[in-house]
């Protein structure tokens, strides 16, 4: 029997992902990018293992969280930086 899907909010968009999915997977479903560089270029994960820091988001008010390393939890509020 599989676990129930997890529901979270990404920039005001309700997203549902399988239990065990990363926040990065949820963001990829809902947002066009994770953040913007200082020059305005859209950024997204490069490494998928927390080394590149390109997937940083704000989770429940805590900034600079590496979304590829954090499992999605029910009710999380995620904000992508512009």
Q: What is the mean pLDDT of residues 19-42?
A: 88
Confidence class for position 37, pLDDT limits 50, 70, 90: confident
Q: What is the pTM of this model?
A: 0.87
**Number of domains present in the structure of the chain:** 1
| pLDDT confidence of residue 11 | 93
Flag whether pLDDT at 2 surpasses 80.
no
The boundaries of the domain holding residue 35 are: 5-79
Confidence class for position 38, pLDDT limits 50, 70, 90: confident
Q: What is the DSSP letter of 3?
A: P
Q: How far apart are CA 33 and CA 44, in angstroms?
A: 6
């Amino acid at each position: 029997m599989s676990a129930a899907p997890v529901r979270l909010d990404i920039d005001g968009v309700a997203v549902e992902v399988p239990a065990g999915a990363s926040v990065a997977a949820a963001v990829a479903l809902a947002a066009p990018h994770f953040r913007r560089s200082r020059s305005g270029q859209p950024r997204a994960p490069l490494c998928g293992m927390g080394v590149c820091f390109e997937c940083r988001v704000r989770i429940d008010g805590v900034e600079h969280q590496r979304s590829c390393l954090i499992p999605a939890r029910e009710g999380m509020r995620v904000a992508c930086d512009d």
